[in-house]
Amino acid sequence: MKPYRLSTPANRDVVEILSYLADKNPPASQRFAYDLFKPFRHLADWPGSGRLRPEFTRVSLRFWPIGDYFIVYMAETEPLTIVRILHTSRDIAAILDRHLISVPHD
């Protein structure tokens, strides 16, 4: 298995998502945590699996859906970098535009 890393914003996303779910439904939070980290390992081994989404960003970020979320990652980094985990109902283009400059440097 190849390594991956979570950016600082992605770490915050995980904590926020799991905290929110734990308040609403603790078993669902545990299931989601397992379901979330499994694709991280897959993407590290197969970085081309996700799709480019030019409607969200011109930067070479890939998107992998998991439920109502996108795992946003940089496929060409070693280790693979998980940039953000964002709910699909959010303004993904604006979020990425705001944080893009810091993504490679966290």
Domain with residue 75: its CATH number is: 3.30.2310.20
pLDDT, position 103 = 47
Q: pTM score, two decimals? A: 0.88
Range of the domain at 75: 4-105
Stretches where the chain sits below pLDDT 50 are 101-106
Segment (H or E) for 6: strand 4-6
Domain count, the chain: 1
The pLDDT tens digits of the residues spanning 42-58 come to 999 999 999 999 999 98
pLDDT, position 77 = 92
